[in-house]
Structure 1
């Protein structure tokens, strides 16, 4: 029986019996919390070894969850005939952010010669290298110029004897260049980053991801951490374009937001953000990278996140309809849905681990597909099904 005793000051105190009950209840709560935490942390370790410690290697971590990152070796991508046919790249842009990714996808395995024509003309290069068309059967114009200039350069390349002529169109974030006149017989194909509905009618146009910005060096897989070892649940650092301010406000008012686990900072402009190495370091220490749309839904942030094995959450845009149909990326319609997705992943840590590995494995495979298909398009100028 619980006895209440009245003191001289008029206050009531529990007797020794109720104190014992409170102590037992407190210890019980601690035990329940400890068991829950142990089960959560061991949900991964039980998938690796029955008595071993947690593994921090992303390779071992993902393999234990059923998503091995080691891909089977492929045969040589290019025939001897192709390797003897040097690609002439006419670089009609300055130091663009897309340069690293273009080099990784297109120029890494295939022999090429690059001619910068920002300060000179194609005519002067061809005049000083009269045998160029005999050395280079294929030509690729990398440019962000207006359509009339592009067409003039292509006509010059055709008249000079290049059999296969292509255009890699950069920096058209607003999708203002529909390239209706840039077609055969002057141009065999167009590759571009940002996609828009008007490009769907262009039968020789292809999309390639924006990729990571220079100077970006993909991290060694041995330095990539599983998501449960990362400092931040989510991070966003960027300029306040389009829906981004609304995203930040909605995130900070959500139940999942915690200043110590979420890093949210704004910059005046993309060009005034962190150096590439610092931005990469932030993403490598973040589990989730929300990617609210700016001028375009496509952005460097997505592909840097994929390269660092973070989980990007994309906001729907026309560009992403060009992704392979079996892609595992998370795409939402609104910034409100983006925040709800962060909450869902945060509440399901084991599911987050599996998604991290599934997406990272897909990215490694998809990048290899691009490294095979983009050069094939450049070499043969033929239609490809990139899906």
Structure 2
């Protein structure tokens, strides 16, 4: 595949280097969907920019004025479905990008329904990020049709995938020492039927959480391993799935694995979302149960948890993805700042509006004192760009967020970001 490098240095704001970026990481990787404007979710009008392709971008930190630390290559990806369309292995120095849907030709300008008419996806692209400033596409491998989400095990030995293809709703792939798939472990016996929209690996390496979209439930799978080799030999359902809200989104375990957080998008209900704390039964002696919930903004598709597990930041899309002439358009997205206590109680500490369309990814840096937020687009006329926004996080009895005077512009469609530690 031919690599296309995009001159992203042209898109920095003038004030980018008037202030120092505070973000503790070796780098950030991002994927951008070039096939559609955010408003295509509502009216099907794509507003594609001729010649602009889906991109994987790596940003080496700290940034310097030479701009050599920002590079992009063409990698098929899509904003359709959830927010777990990329996983990063710090062990193998690889990024795995899910081809949820295929890329469109430049002459396609409108679809009746983007969820149904975009080309089918069916593979994962593997990118070498050992040299953050020079990403290299290595190879692709097939998945089930229209893969939805991906997560990598804490030790980097396995990937879990979910897709829309019957029989391949959930798969675990064993990786070799170089991070290449070598064996498929099929879904567990008794896995409920229906679309699985999310998967998450537990920090202790032995459990996988999943979400059933149709029944609005979250469940747990236990991995069984061979004694001498410690390799996974089969998967087993652990307890009964738990009903969670009206439209559960992508979840995350707390860093200590004690709790599982899931947002309720309440999609189609035109009301503020919520985020739930779930306590999974890991030993099989009792049922899974909800511990607490907290109100956040509308359409809370993504969130980040601080490394110490005490703070949660939720990105609320609201109605920023509506056409600009639509009466119910929201011209500001928002962030919700929450405290998470050691016993699992969530409480909203405040909401912060910002300029951004369809923010679908939030990540903390390694210090826990800063966050990065992906914005798909902005309310600008003329040239359109996605961006990565940066905020400081103040902890303590009265936590707060403060926007940094730094915005990194990327091509339009930026929807998933991950940090390189």
TM-score normalized with structure 1 length: 0.27
- Of the two, which has the highest radius of gyration? 1
TM-score normalized with structure 2 length: 0.25
